[in-house]
Structure 1
Amino acid sequence: MESELSFSAADLAQTRFAVSPMWEVVTSYRTLRSEADPGPHRRWAAQVRPRLVEAGLDRGWLAALIPAEGFIADFLNPTPGSPFPTLDTELDAIARSTTPAQLGHDLDLLAAARPDGRLAPRLRVLREAPEAGLEKIVAEIRAYWELALAPYWARLRDLLEADIFHRARQVAEHGSAHVLNELHETVRWDSGGLRLVRRHCSLSRDETGAGLLLVPSAFTWPRVHTRSVPPEPPQLAYPARGIGTLWEPRATGAVDAVAAVLGKSRTLLLTELDTPASTTQLARHSGLSAAGVSQHLTALRDAGLVTAHRAGRSVLYARTAVADALLTAGAA
């Protein structure tokens, strides 16, 4: 199926980019639910899937709103008001700005996609008590974020921001039409229109507002996703550049220099945290005692070199961008 989004000069002028935490929530959750090979996200999925099941998030509100295939509830992806909104900003928009009409439309489409044509039990509750249901959905998204995305967000954000900066340079050098034509193999710019050749995607200027919002995403790979909710501008989430190397271990070139300042044990823990891990895991891998690891992590956290994230009954620690910069200085 091919759809076309027509463009006027005004639409081109209102085309912009944004990083959206909620697009990463939606597409990463679908990646975990899908039976398809997660491709470049295998390493991440292998770490996160067990946590998802342990926390019961594989069978909650998100499971009902984000099926493994087909339509995803549009209200989960409010239009970002700035290039780099926070998760809190987007969750506030979901809780406060989702209209009854939008919610009803999304629930009708989710019901139509089911074999029996009926809503899942949780979503029937959402239809009957939308305000209370939206609060529960927001709470579940926060829990999912903490175990699946927050420990990795520094790495993901770097990827997404780098994509936007690259596209911005391309716009300056070659114009918007050139950039639109290079977003994805299924997206083509032609004679004032953006053509999408993809059965699950549809865009039409008759059904959307002016302009276009382009959202780089790590987890939309290998597809593009769209959102059309008038009168808001259409959204097109596309795979960001560099996904193939996103989860590769990062080379370290300044370990000895960092160890001279922080000490060998704390530097060892930082190198181990190329993958987020719990205190128990770090103790097992490093050979340090659990008590010693805990003490070192507290010091590293106070220094802004690691962050802590609740994942079910465990706490995962992750390196910050500051720590990455320290360890990778001088790497080939």
Structure 2
Amino acid sequence: MEYELSFSAADLAQTRFAVSPMWEVVTSYRILRGDGAAAGPHRRWAEQVRPRLAEAGLDRGWLAELIPRTSYLADFLNPAPAAPFPTLAAELDAIRRTAPDRVRVELDMLAAQSGDRRPGPRLRLLREAPEAALEKVVAEIECYWELALAPYWARVRDVLEADVFHRARQVAEHGAAHVLNELHETVSWDDGSLRLVRRHCRLTRDEAGAGLLLIPSAFAWPRVLTRSVPPEPPQLAYPARGIGTLWEPRTTAAGEAVAAVIGRSRTLLLTELDTPASTTQLARHSGLSPAGVSQHLTALRDAGLVTAHRAGRSVLYARTAVADALLTAGAS
């Protein structure tokens, strides 16, 4: 199936890039619902996150019903980003404000795609009491974020922001048509129209608002996804550059220079945090006592070198971009 999204001069003028936390929520959740092969370059991340999701019951909650493994997913989960780099909180507020009639229309579309004429109790509540049910959806998204994305967000955000800055520079050097032609193999620009092939969801200017929102995504791989809810601009989420190395270890050794500044134990903990881990895990891998690990992590957190994220009954610690830069400099 092929669709064309026509562009006027005004549409081109209103075309912009944005990084969207909610697009990462829906695309990453869809990856986790698939098998190991479906994870592709995200296999390392998925193997860490799937057990947490199952333990929290998030593999069978609101998101499981609103985000099928394939085809259409509820559009209200992806409100149009109001800024280039919106926060998750801002996008969750937009979800809460979804008009009840819009919710019901999208539930009808979900039912039509799945062939399910007897929705479960969650979707019935969403239809009958949208405002109350959306609060439950938002609460589950916040829980999912803490378990699956927050410990990794600094790393993911770096990739997404780098993609935006690269393509903005390409627009300045070569023009918008050049950039639109390079987004994905199924997307091309031709004579004032953006052509999208192998699409299941309809995307035409007759059924879309003005302009276009281009959303780089770490987890949309290997395809592009679209959203069209007038009067908002259509959205096109595409695989960001650099996701092939997203989960590779950042460093192999921090070097004596870093240890001389922050101490050997804290340097060891930072190198262990190439993937997020709990205090117990760090104690087991490093040979330090749990109390000693906790004390060091508090100091590292106060210095902006690690972040802490609630994951069920435990807390996961993650290295920040500042710590990555410190270790990279020390290793070299």
Same fold by TM-score, threshold 0.5 exceeded?
yes
- 2:28 aligns to what? 28
Cα offset, 1:253, TM superposition: 6.0
Letter of the 1:305 partner, please give it: L
Check the 8 A contact 2:254/2:267 in 1, yes or no: no
Query: For residues 69 and 137 of structure 2, what CA distance do their matches in structure 1 show?
Result: 18
- 1:285 aligns to what? 285
Query: For residues 202 and 114 of structure 1, what CA distance do their matches in structure 2 show?
Result: 17
Check the 8 A contact 2:255/2:331 in 1, yes or no: no
- 1:175 aligns to what? 175
Identity %: 82
Query: For residues 70 and 121 of structure 1, what CA distance do their matches in structure 2 show?
Result: 22
Letter of the 1:93 partner, please give it: A
Cα offset, 1:116, TM superposition: 3.3
Cα offset, 1:16, TM superposition: 0.1
What are the ranges of 5 or more consecutive residues in structure 2 without an aligned counterpart?
A: none
Letter of the 1:327 partner, please give it: L
When structure 1 is superposed on structure 2, of 17-26 and 63-72 the one drifting more is: 63-72
TM-score normalised over the length of structure 2 = 0.97
- 2:309 aligns to what? 309
- 2:56 aligns to what? 55
Query: For residues 228 and 38 of structure 2, what CA distance do their matches in structure 1 show?
Result: 28
Cα offset, 1:199, TM superposition: 3.1
Deviations 1:135-158 (A, max 9, x none): 011111000000100000000000
Letter of the 2:222 partner, please give it: P
Letter of the 1:22 partner, please give it: M
Cα offset, 1:330, TM superposition: 5.7
Q: Which consecutive aligned stretches of 4+ in structure 1 deviate over 6 angstroms post-superposition?
A: none
- 2:161 aligns to what? 161
Are residues 1:81 and 2:82 paired? yes
When structure 1 is superposed on structure 2, of 112-121 and 176-185 the one drifting more is: 112-121
Check the 8 A contact 1:253/1:329 in 2, yes or no: no
Kindly report which structure 2 residues correspond to 1:219-238, keeping only aligned pairs within 5 A, or say none: 219-238=219-238
Kindly report which structure 2 residues correspond to 1:195-206, keeping only aligned pairs within 5 A, or say none: 195-206=195-206
State the SS of the aligned residue for 1:226.
strand
Query: For residues 105 and 198 of structure 2, what CA distance do their matches in structure 1 show?
Result: 22
When structure 1 is superposed on structure 2, of 106-115 and 295-304 the one drifting more is: 106-115
Query: For residues 188 and 214 of structure 2, what CA distance do their matches in structure 1 show?
Result: 14
Cα offset, 1:162, TM superposition: 0.2
Letter of the 2:53 partner, please give it: L
Kindly report which structure 2 residues correspond to 1:30-45, keeping only aligned pairs within 5 A, or say none: 30-35=30-35, 36-45=37-46
- 1:66 aligns to what? 67
- 1:246 aligns to what? 246
Cα offset, 1:245, TM superposition: 0.5
Letter of the 2:96 partner, please give it: A
Query: For residues 28 and 133 of structure 2, what CA distance do their matches in structure 1 show?
Result: 22
When structure 1 is superposed on structure 2, of 164-173 and 195-204 the one drifting more is: 195-204
Letter of the 1:85 partner, please give it: P
State the SS of the aligned residue for 1:37.
helix
Are residues 1:266 and 2:252 paired? no
Cα offset, 1:111, TM superposition: 1.3
Check the 8 A contact 1:110/1:119 in 2, yes or no: no
When structure 1 is superposed on structure 2, of 109-118 and 218-227 the one drifting more is: 109-118
- 2:91 aligns to what? 90
- 1:127 aligns to what? 127
Cα offset, 1:303, TM superposition: 1.1
Check the 8 A contact 1:111/1:120 in 2, yes or no: no
Query: For residues 80 and 101 of structure 1, what CA distance do their matches in structure 2 show?
Result: 21
- 2:207 aligns to what? 207
Letter of the 1:200 partner, please give it: H
When structure 1 is superposed on structure 2, of 218-227 and 112-121 the one drifting more is: 112-121
- 1:148 aligns to what? 148
Query: For residues 330 and 198 of structure 2, what CA distance do their matches in structure 1 show?
Result: 44
When structure 1 is superposed on structure 2, of 199-208 and 278-287 the one drifting more is: 199-208
Query: For residues 167 and 331 of structure 1, what CA distance do their matches in structure 2 show?
Result: 31
- 1:7 aligns to what? 7
TM-score normalised over the length of structure 1 = 0.97
Letter of the 1:122 partner, please give it: R
